[in-house]
Amino acid sequence: QNATQTVEEEKPEPPTVQEIKQKIEKYNAKVTNCLLMKLNDDGTYTGFIKVHLKLCRPVTVPAGIRPQSIYDALKEVNLAEMTDKRTSFYLPLDAIKQLHISSTTTVSEVIQGLLKKFMVVDNPQKFALFKEMRKDGQVLFQKLPLTEYPLYLRLLAGPDTDVLSFVLKENETGEVEWDAFSIPELQNFLMILDKEEKDKIQQVHRKYERFKQRLQQTLKEARGKPG
């Protein structure tokens, strides 16, 4: 008689406060930019991570809103809620944002914090945080679960961003819950996709038009040669 036994994977025990303290001391010894980690009395710790924004598509932001000032940040003023008008634009390619977070800050909270800093009003489910690693001359990306703790990953990898860095990218299309988006957001997606389709068509037309011109020029030159 065959029997199927389900074996649960053993999860590693969380590090003790003493182990965390040792890791932080080792981490801080390698820091060269004063962005140290700090251990708190309750066993949690704080530190800095840098996130590269590699977004290929435009984001939705409030129209006609001035950049957030220090006063707004201190008073927690949400400028995005002050107008219903929206516009779309491309964030600078490979922009870098530095965040001061806690060991209890999750990937989900990092994504929401980044969107808030750039006043992006798109649904956070459109985005995902990846860890970027370099191995054997290759660049590898791995999507992080929303419940992961980025600062702990930073602590384990050390401060060298060539070993590990964080990247904000668009979420995989197949994993997006489209029912969570509003009608205006879905309509905005359709407009963006329509524009991208037209741009691609124009690129193909221009490519083959140049090819056609070179071919015609070659034929013209060949006819002009004797024999």
5 vs 193 pLDDT, higher one: 193
pLDDT at 7: 44
Mean pLDDT over each residue of the chain, to the nearest integer: 80
Record the pTM.
0.64
d(CA 148, CA 166): 12
- Label residue 74 by pLDDT band (50, 70, 90): very low
Any alpha helices (H) in the chain, and if so which ranges?
A: 17-30, 70-75, 107-117, 150-157, 183-223
At residue 223, does pLDDT exceed 70?
Answer: yes
pLDDT in tens, 51-71: 999 888 788 877 655 444 444
| C-beta separation of 47 from 36 below 8 A | yes
Instruction: Report which of residues 141 and 107 the model is more confident about.
Output: 107
**Which range is least confidently modeled, 72-81, 131-140, 160-169?**
72-81
> What pLDDT, on a 0 to 100 scale, did the predictor assign at position 176?
57
Calculate mean pLDDT across residues 181-189. 72
